Amino acid sequence: MSKSTMYLPLLALAIAAFGIGTTEFVIMGLLPEVAKDLGVTAPAAGMLVSGYALGVAGGAPILAMVTSRWPRRRALLSLIGLFILGNALCAMAPGYWSLMGARVVTAFCHAAFFGIGAVVAADLVPRDKRAQAVALMFTGLTLANVLGVPFGTALGQWAGWRATFWAVTVIGMAALVALQVWLPRHLPRPAPGNLLREFRSLLGPQVQLALLISTLASVGMFSVFTYIAYILRDVSGFSASAESWVLLLFGAGITVGGLVGGKLADWRLMPVLAGLFVAIALVLVTFAYTSHYQIPTLITLFVWGVVSFAVVPASQVRVLDQAREASNIASTLNQGAFNLGNATGAWLGALVIGAGLPLTYLPWVGASVAVLGLGVVLLSASLDRRDSAAAVPCDANGPAA
């Protein structure tokens, strides 16, 4: 396969990921504007993040079943069409609950698109490059944080938050064209098999632990990031106009983290995951203190972006490794796991704010969840070692040569 044959489909997937990532994350930079326009409180506005995430988590098993036997090209094109519709509905939503419903519609395409897209990306490259290929697709998601979120936030503050959703709708249309033109006509089809047996294979402890790792990574991140606009304005003292540039720096860290995480995951997957959770916990504890000062906040946010998003390609490949019999479904459910974590993190953050606690308590919540994630990684790694030892044939004198 030529480089252009391999990379143009990855570029098309990245464009779609850029649009999906922008619509997921840009709401966080616009929460104060949305809350003011719709006449709701900050915790209620934060539930728009949870609503989207729950839509992803709830839509994941449904669309995993619906698309499990579809040709992958057809599935990806259909899902990006749903994305375009959902964002147009967000832009036209007359009130809070209609916006919530439109966010859920948009969210339904999220898990299945990233799940099937990750399988397609991994199939386009040699086995030892799979994590890097997945990371390249997810570069679109990271660029959404570098470009989509800060510029979408700036656009929303200047022209109204609805203008941002119209802009994302246009991005979705561009992604649809790119996928139509660059995706191979004859992608590998999902392997035939019994759907019930495939779902049953996902109940194995290692698959469930892999999904839990993804969930906890997102809980730790979104317990803080959902309310980052309030932290930047009320704790760090940034103006609303400066917020976009601060988010751009965080997005740059995420981009670096996604690419570095892909390379590290192809090297030593489980030790890398363990090290990343340790790093996330330390960075968030640091942020509880540095958030009071603007320059230290900028440095901390960049580093947090690097370590938090390096987990994404690593955990995605971990799920694919543990669920080879149902890769499409497992990859899709992993996106649901990430977004279940998003919703849970936003909910935990809302509990902290609703209890009247300072915003600086949020990083401590995120750090605690990261420590829990580390424990799950270590448990999963210990099961790997146990299974490897059990697989080695032994005689009376020890392992067979």
Taken in order of first residue, the domains within the chain and their CATH numbers are: 3-181+194-390 (1.20.1250.20)
User: pLDDT for 345-401, tens place per residue?
Assistant: 988 998 998 888 999 999 999 999 999 999 999 999 888 788 777 765 555 455 543
pLDDT of 141: 76
Task: Provide CB contacts within 8 A for 370, sequence distance 6+.
Answer: 216, 217, 220, 277, 278, 280, 281, 284
Q: Degrees (nearest 5) of the Cα angle 216, 221, 222?
A: 100
Which has the closest alpha carbon to 99: 86, 108, 83? Answer: 86
Give CA–CA dist 336/331, Å, rounded: 9
Q: What contacts 305, CB < 8 A, 6 or more positions away? A: 145, 249, 250, 251, 252, 253, 254, 255, 256, 257
Q: How high is the pLDDT of residue 199?
A: 66
Do 109 and 83 meet the contact criterion of CB atoms below 8 Å apart? yes
| Residues in Cβ contact with 387 at an 8 Å cutoff, skipping those fewer than 6 apart | none
Q: In the prediction, which pLDDT does 288 show?
A: 94
Residues, the chain? 401
Helix (H) or strand (E) holding 176: helix 161-182
- Residue 389 has what pLDDT? 74
Q: Do 350 and 43 contact (CB within 8 A), yes or no?
A: yes
Element (H, E) at 395: strand 394-395
Q: Which residues of the chain have a pLDDT value below 50? A: 396, 400-401
The β-bridge partners of 394 are 399
Inter-CA distances, 167 with 113, 156, 184, 292, 351, Å = 20, 10, 28, 34, 32
What is the structure's pLDDT at 167?
94
- Residue 124: per-residue pLDDT: 74
Place of tokens 């840009």: 26
CA triplet 243, 248, 252: central angle to 5 degrees?
150
Q: For position 372, what pLDDT does the model report? A: 95
Burial code of 83-98, b = ≥16 C-beta within 10 A, e = fewer? bbbbbbbbbebeebee
pLDDT digits (tens, 9 = 90+) for 208-235: 898 899 999 999 998 998 888 889 989 9
Using DSSP, state whether 203 is helix, strand or coil: coil
